[in-house]
Amino acid sequence: MELKMEAIYNKTISATALIGFIAFFLLSLKTVPFSPAPLYGAIAFSTIMFAGYFLTNHILYGQDPALFILSSFISQLGLIMLYRINPAAFSKQINWYALGVLAYILSSAIIKYWVKVKINPYFFLAATLVLLAMPLLFGVERGGSRSWIQLANYSFQPSELAKITFVLFLAEKLRSGKIESILRLSGEILAVTILLMMARDLGGAMLFYMTALAIVFAATSRMDIAAAGLAAAGTAAVFGYYLFGHVRIRVEAWLNPWQDVPGRGYQIVQSLFAIAQGGFFGTGLGMGHPEYIPAVATDFIFSGFSEEFGFMGAAALIVVYFLLVYRGIKISLSAKESFLALAALGIATMFGLQIFTIIGGVIKLIPMTGVTLPFMSYGGSSMVMSFISLGILNGIRQSGRGEEDDG
């Protein structure tokens, strides 16, 4: 059984590498005159990927190889699109991928042992609040939200790390399955959400809030709290619409982008044009116009991907993301302890909601909020932190397996 699974994993990762070589070869053909440079990218990527695969398989006992394969598969699609859009961004991003793989292995290994240490939940809460307050105090504004910190030549989005500390805080606090003071807990969740709103990171605020609801519901089975939480979010959204101009602009751009195509509707309309152009089968790699889409390397990378890979490619990508969430949920279900189960659930929920929010936003199913598409969007914080989250999932899985095997 194990051997058979291993053979499947080996085939899958080889297929991923093959897809990469084909795609980068196509990009080589597209460059005039013919240049082998994209192929070097494929070589670099598969080297890192195979090294990571080999290491995880041999160092991490009882791990889930699917997590690494799925995330690398998605990262590669992102890198292919980035090379297509801007080769310079590709060179940076592949370094982030390498760093992400390293962080994945480290966090997997560390978490496996660390989970046995009991840490006060308020340490995590304090960390979350400090991380989220940092950009408000000395951050820089980018794309309308003030959630970045600039350090020398690198900029960093602390909210990416806060996602992890926030999930760990809630998992630790609710491990007993009981809420000591509902008022206090709501206050803590609201404080986090409000800090994100102050940074005008509406997508982030929604992600944190909904993830908190999911964890609270899973831990306590309190349907009434979940319903009240959703109702409160709905009310807040209505108030936000009337009180804040930037909320209104997003909602209006969603409801009717055609009212002001050169202005507030511009981004979403360009995104929709790209997806429409792709149709069922896509224009083919290198044949679309990602340069027409604003922020195509970050928020709108899914639209660029859809144009060239079509509905078929986009639907397949959604399925791959779904598999990743499914693996996370599975790890949560197999966890031996409620803290681990809640932490795994929190991380899987954070991933799932983030993916739904950004894909739903660029296809105009829901209003557009600027969150990144994990593993695909250009950016170091998102790439590395996504890998660390995945590493935590992997560590939780190992800790469960370890006991099983030891016992």
Binding residues vs another protein (CB under 8 A): 177, 214, 217-219, 221, 261, 269, 272-273, 275-281, 289, 292, 306, 311, 314-315, 318-319, 321-322, 325-326, 329, 332-333, 338, 341-342, 345, 349, 352, 356, 359-360, 363, 365
Q: Is the bond preceding 33 in cis, omega lying within 30 degrees of 0?
A: yes
For residue 405, the one-letter residue type is D
Nearer to another protein (CB atom), residue 95 or residue 283: 283
Q: How far is the CB of 330 from another protein (least distance, A)?
A: 9
SS3 147: strand
Q: How far is the CB of 360 from another protein (least distance, A)?
A: 6
**CB contact set of 188 (below 8 Å; sequence gap of 6+):** 125, 169
Closest by Cα among 391, 386, 354 to 110: 391
Angstrom CA distances, 187 to 148, 191, 348, 367, stand at 25, 6, 24, 27
Residue with structure tokens 């896509």? 282
Nearer to another protein (CB atom), residue 6 or residue 404: 404
Nearer to another protein (CB atom), residue 69 or residue 348: 348
Nearer to another protein (CB atom), residue 164 or residue 214: 214
Nearer to another protein (CB atom), residue 102 or residue 323: 323
Q: How far is the CB of 76 from another protein (least distance, A)?
A: 21
Show the DSSP H helices in 31-86 as ranges. Answer: 37-59, 65-85
Nearer to another protein (CB atom), residue 244 or residue 326: 326
Nearer to another protein (CB atom), residue 195 or residue 269: 269
Nearer to another protein (CB atom), residue 133 or residue 363: 363
Q: What's the CA gap between 302 and 316, in Å, rounded?
A: 12
Q: How far is the CB of 318 from another protein (least distance, A)?
A: 5
10 Å Cβ neighbour count for 248? 14
Q: How far is the CB of 406 from another protein (least distance, A)?
A: 20
Contact yes or no for 171/343 (Cβ under 8 A): yes
Q: How far is the CB of 198 from another protein (least distance, A)?
A: 27
Q: How far is the CB of 46 from another protein (least distance, A)?
A: 29
SS3 55: helix
Look up residue 275 and give its two tokens.
Answer: 């997806």
Q: How far is the CB of 296 from another protein (least distance, A)?
A: 14
Q: What's the CA gap between 242 and 376, in Å, rounded?
A: 34
Closest by Cα among 305, 321, 8, 295 to 143: 295
| Phi, psi (degrees; rounded to nearest 5) at 149 | -120, 135
